[in-house]
Chain A
Amino acid sequence: MERSNTDSFRHSQYLPFSPTTSSHPSTPLAQKHASLPIPTPTTASSLSGSASTLRYSQSRKTIYDRHLNRSKGAELSKASFAFLFGEMVQYAQKRVSGIQDLEKKLNAHGYSVGQRLLELLVWREGRSGKRETRVLGILQFITNTLWRAIYNKPADALEKSRDHEDEYMISDNDPMVNTYISVPKEMNQLNCAAFQAGIIEAVLDSCMFPARVTAHSVPNETWPGKTVFLIKFEQVVLDREAEFIS
């Protein structure tokens, strides 16, 4: 699933290493290596193109001056998030042709958030940060570290499907945004969940566990807002897991 955002207002971002690599998603590297011609030398410096025109304030300086932990643990009101989210939905609704399209857009927003949250959270682990190589490892990272960062508590359940080798489910009894007053009418459950699914999907894709994540509302008496996130891994993930076991 092609995810990279090509910002139309920036000129081309790719400096191709070789003619084969820039335009399509990763193909098995061995093949690329075999067909590699001698690359033409590029400039040693990373600064291609025109010089920067950005101005920086003396007081605020640059993003590189700000400590990454400065806002760690910082909080805002849930209402702020909900209102913002409501407008995100409103805006998206005007540009889509149906509910599936809407969920895709919300998923994309969540995806963008997830990509960033991932690196931020792992960076914050410092030396003890590790790369997950097993399915269970990455899922636990999501249900624990990621969930706690976003919702202040771990996910309620992680289950493996009995019928489908490639499916897992993460449950949240009470997804954050459902529980409070003044909820805008656009703020129905499935919308929020599509956003959250996007976050999960971004983490999985980025860590090289490509998967589709969909959200399902499964209300029960105790938890009317209960949501299940269904994760369906691509075959390559299963093949890799199988090699680990053998």
Chain B
Amino acid sequence: MSFYFVIIGTKDNPLYEAEFGTWKQGGDGVARFRDEQRHLNQFIAHSSLDLLEELQWAGTGGSMYLKCIERFAGTAGGGSGGVVGVAGGVNGAGAGGVWVSVFLTAGNIKFVLLHDTRADEPIRQFFYDVYELYTKTLMNPFYSVDMEVRSAVFDGRVRAGVKKYL
């Protein structure tokens, strides 16, 4: 299981991004994305923001955790490497589909996680941990909304969260 995680600010700018592999079932925590997938991760995360914007205003106020809002099927077989359309609906075919789960903070900062297996509750816990980390970052007067998060300590804690839940 590999994950791509990105924190996106209010101007759709990335504040933090990282790749993780799972620690479960003997995993070593190293992400294993095929090269194309890696290039696609950013694209997928970004394009899911469209759907996110629709979803976040649906209903009378809801959860900050929006699980599995989208599923992107991977490219079939050897990979075309070129432009990949949003190929929703083509299932599996051994090409590694990707789920997108999102967490929205009160101030509309988006935590976007791309994962290849569903794991709702652990992901929710991971997101809440990151929310705590983000809030601590924001409480610092020298950090402003929409700034990149560059702290090595932050990065370490996020990775610790991955190890703990994912």
Q: Which residues of A contact B (CB under 8 A)?
A: 3-7, 10, 13-18, 21-22, 25-26, 29-30, 32-33, 36, 38-39, 41-42, 44-49, 51-52, 62-64, 66, 68, 112, 115-116, 118-123, 126-127, 129-134, 137, 206-208, 240, 244
Partner of A49, one of B132, B135, B150: B150
Contact status A38-B43, CB under 8 Å: yes
Question: Which chain B residues numbered 44 to 94 have a C-beta less than 8 Å away from chain A?
Answer: 46-47, 49-50, 53, 56-64, 83
Q: For the complex, is B14 an interface residue (Cβ under 8 Å from A)?
A: yes
B157 adjacent to A63 (CB under 8 Å) = no
The reply to whether the CB of B12 lies closer than 8 angstroms to some CB of chain A is yes
A120 to chain B, nearest CB (A): 6
B141 to chain A, nearest CB (A): 7
Count of interface residues, chain B, beta-carbon cutoff 8 Å: 61
A7, A21, A41, A46: the one within 8 Å of B39 (CB)? A41
Please, which residues of chain A bring their CB within 8 A of the CB of B104?
Answer: 131
The answer to whether A116 and B139 touch across the interface, beta carbons within 8 angstroms, is: yes
Which residues from chain B sit less than 8 Å from chain A, CB to CB?
A: 8, 10-14, 16-19, 31, 38-39, 42-43, 46-47, 49-50, 53, 56-64, 83, 104-108, 128, 131-142, 144-155, 157
Chain A residues, Cβ within 8 Å of B19: 44
Interfacial chain B residues near A41, Cβ < 8 Å: 38-39, 42
Least Cβ–Cβ distance between B165 and chain A, in angstroms: 15
Give the Cβ gap from A109 to chain B, nearest Cβ, in Å: 11
* Chain A residues near B16 (CB-CB < 8 A): 46
Find chain B residues with CB under 8 A from A52 CB.
150-152
Q: Are B39 and A32 in contact (CB under 8 A)?
A: no
CB distance from B116 to the nearest CB of A (A): 16
20 A-B residue pairings within 8 Å (CB atoms): A4-B10, A7-B144, A17-B13, A17-B42, A22-B13, A39-B43, A41-B38, A42-B14, A44-B19, A45-B18, A46-B17, A52-B151, A64-B154, A118-B106, A131-B56, A132-B61, A137-B60, A206-B108, A207-B106, A244-B60
B31 CB to closest chain A CB, in angstroms? 7
Q: Is B50's CB under 8 angstroms from A30's CB?
A: yes
Nearest neighbor of A117 in chain B, beta-carbon distance: B139
Q: Contact: A62 with B153, CB < 8 Å? A: yes
Of A44, A48, A127, A137, the most chain B CB neighbours within 10 A belong to A44
In the docked arrangement, what's the CA distance between A44 and B61, Å?
34
Chain B residues whose CB sits within 8 angstroms of the CB of A46 once the complex forms: 16-18, 148-150, 155
Q: Is the CB of A14 within 8 A of B10?
A: no
What chain A residues lie within 8 Å of B12 (beta carbons)?
Answer: 17, 21, 26, 29, 32
Q: Given contact pairs A64-B133, A123-B132, enumerate 10 new A-B contacts (beta carbons under 8 Å).
A: A3-B145, A14-B148, A17-B12, A22-B13, A47-B155, A119-B135, A131-B56, A133-B58, A133-B61, A133-B62
Pairwise interchain contact B108-A207, C-beta atoms closer than 8 A: yes
A99 to B62, CA, bound (A): 41
Given known A-B contacts A29-B53, A115-B107, A68 and B132 have beta carbons under 8 A apart: yes
